[in-house]
Amino acid sequence: MSRRSQSGGLSVKAAERLRPLLESFLASTDTRSRIAFDPVEFPHRYSDPRDIEVSALLGAALAYGRADLFRPKVDGLLRHMGASPAAFVRQLDVPGARELLHGFVYRFNVGTDVAVLLLGMGKALREQGSLEALFVRVWEAHGSMHGALSDFTAALRDVPMGELRRVLGKERGLHHLLPSPLGPGAAKRLNLYLRWMVRGPDAVDFGIWKRVPASALVIPLDTHIGRIAKHLGLTQRNDLSWRTAEDVTTSLRRLDAADPVRYDFALCHYGMSGVCPAKPVADNCAKCQLLSACSVGPRLTRSRASSSGP
């Protein structure tokens, strides 16, 4: 029987086989030690929910490229923002944004791009009380995660662009930082932010947004999750699109309908750490707890065994 059902996602039998393997895998993952290698480390510095949601969105938005390059950028901004990032953005104005971000550059983004994000968060806190309230308003209006995220970023971008351009220059990578409209991409960093805010609380995720159910979350799809998901039969798609993210999430809902993205952190770091790299390593595959559910590892380990011979 196919590992996939006719309606998409894992078949019921495949899900029954995979679930205990993933549960064991998740239980054996030292998630606390991996937090230091993840942008979720930034919001873990704070205890107030408003500081958590503000620092998390800043960290998630800039978490692209090499970690050793984006981490100092985020860290420098948060240090300048002081003990309460939420209080800082509530009071931030265009002159303050210029003082903070003049000369800021990180790959696709310049100071104007980040100023839009910070001013947008400040406006949301002043008008809605929290970033959660802003997201819930657009999510309830849409009923779809894709539409809600698109309107969420549009609301954040509703700031005085003319004044910002005069003092900081033209924006450069604003659509990369805050895509609006969302488009066909997987929106990995936005879905990552939602995972942090909505699911949990546990060692990694905060669970501070109580009005959005974890069941509605979509997997934060990146190259690591895309590769491992295909190895495990969670999708047959090869691209990193929203459709693929939904396909993987559909399969994960067969494993846990209430909390489908609960395996994301462990699986992603399995790839990030190099244990499950883009080019499989037979020795690693032989030790993998997920080997029996993998479409790649068993062939590789059998090939190694036959080549070594008697």
Residue 206 placed within a domain: no
274-277 long-range contacts, Cβ below 8 Å, gap at least 24?
A: 276/224, 276/227, 276/228, 276/231
In this structure, the answer to whether residues 118 and 149 fall within a common structural domain is: yes
In this structure, the answer to whether residues 172 and 84 fall within a common structural domain is: yes
Residue 99 placed within a domain: yes
The answer to whether 199 touches 262, Cβ cutoff 8 Å, is yes
Residue 231 placed within a domain: yes
DSSP 241: B
In tens digits, what is the pLDDT along the chain, a chain of 310 residues?
Answer: 345 544 457 888 999 999 999 999 999 999 999 999 999 999 999 999 999 999 999 999 999 999 999 999 999 999 999 999 999 999 999 999 999 999 999 999 999 999 999 999 999 999 999 999 999 999 999 889 999 999 999 999 999 999 999 999 999 999 999 999 999 999 999 999 999 999 999 999 999 999 999 999 999 999 999 999 999 999 999 999 999 999 999 999 999 999 999 999 999 999 999 999 999 999 999 999 999 999 999 988 887 666 655 5
Residue 107: name the closest of 38, 155, 61, 40 by CA.
61
In this structure, the answer to whether residues 234 and 300 fall within a common structural domain is: yes
Q: What is the pLDDT of residue 207?
A: 98
Q: What is the pLDDT of residue 143?
A: 83
Angle, in degrees to the nearest 10, between helices 223-231 and 264-272: 100
Print the domain residue range for 1: 1-33+214-310
Q: What is the pLDDT of residue 308?
A: 57
Q: What is the pLDDT of residue 2?
A: 44
Q: List, in order, residues 6 or more apart from 261 with CB less than 8 Å away.
A: 195, 199, 214, 217, 218, 219, 220, 249, 252
The residue written with tokens 């240090």 in the block is: 79
In this structure, the answer to whether residues 147 and 73 fall within a common structural domain is: yes
Taking the mean position of all CA atoms in its chain, how far away is CA 96?
29
CB atoms within 10 A of CB 166: 11
Q: List, in order, residues 6 or more apart from 66 with CB less than 8 Å away.
A: none
Residue 215: name the closest of 250, 264, 239 by CA.
250
Domain total of the chain: 2
Residue 200 placed within a domain: no
In this structure, the answer to whether residues 274 and 171 fall within a common structural domain is: no
Q: What is the pLDDT of residue 5?
A: 46
In this structure, the answer to whether residues 161 and 242 fall within a common structural domain is: no
Handedness of CA 280, 286, 289, 294 (dihedral sign): positive
The answer to whether 60 touches 39, Cβ cutoff 8 Å, is yes
In this structure, the answer to whether residues 169 and 284 fall within a common structural domain is: no
